[in-house]
Amino acid sequence: MAGNPADRTVATNRRARHDYSIEETFEAGMVLTGPEVKSLRAGRATLTDAFARVDESGTGLWVENLHIPPYEMADTRAYEAKRPRKLLVHREEIGRLIGKTAERGLTLVPLKIYFTRGMAKMELGLGRGKRQFEKRQTLAEREHRREVERALGARRRER
């Protein structure tokens, strides 16, 4: 049986796993307006500079710099494409995130936006920023794995 056509990925942050070592991921709902949902359903969103934070009072989780362009068919006079958007998570999870992000170097990084059962969700990662030499090391390891797979594939074809 095929999956629900409404369940699909809208946007992914491909740089996130390159720039951060993601230690833990979790899902959060998103509070959106009607035109924002329509724009997401059309597959239009950019997670490039987005980040998440817990507000000062410790009661809410917000995503900043998430760019959702205006839906063409909607009224766009009062539309703000990069406004802060509230994320929906359990209070206990917010408390746990406050403790984790208080650690030095941990940050909340949006990884992807997708629809599940018609609801817009965001996958967030708790990650630590990589330094330049760590990024180079990761790329070298990936290239080494590719070469090993290529060699094994060639060896299998020879038999």
- What is the average per-residue pLDDT within 113-119? 87
* Tens-digit pLDDT profile for residues 4-58: 656 788 888 888 777 787 888 889 888 888 888 888 888 888 888 888 888 877 7
Task: Tell the residue number behind the tokens 């990024």, with chain if given.
Answer: 135
Whole-number pLDDT of residue 7? 73
- 3-state DSSP of the chain: CCCCCCCCEEEECCCHHHHEEEEEEEEEEECCCHHHHHHHHCCCCECCCCEEEECCCCCCEEEECCECCCCCCCCCCCCCCCCCEEEECCHHHHHHHHHHHHCCCEEEEEEEEEEECCEEEEEEEEEEECCHHHHHHHHHHHHHHHHHHHHHHHHHHHC
All structural domains of the chain with their residue ranges: 9-130
Q: For residue 137, is pLDDT > 50? A: yes
* Angle, vertex CA 36, rays to CA 107 and CA 65, nearest 5: 30
Integer-rounded Cα radius of gyration of the chain: 19
Whole-number pLDDT of residue 1? 39
Instruction: Provide the CATH topology of domain 9-130.
Output: Small Protein B; Chain: A; (2.40.280)
Percent of residues, the chain, with pLDDT higher than 70: 93
* Angle, vertex CA 71, rays to CA 65 and CA 77, nearest 5: 80
When the pLDDT of each residue in the chain is averaged and rounded to a whole number, the result is: 81
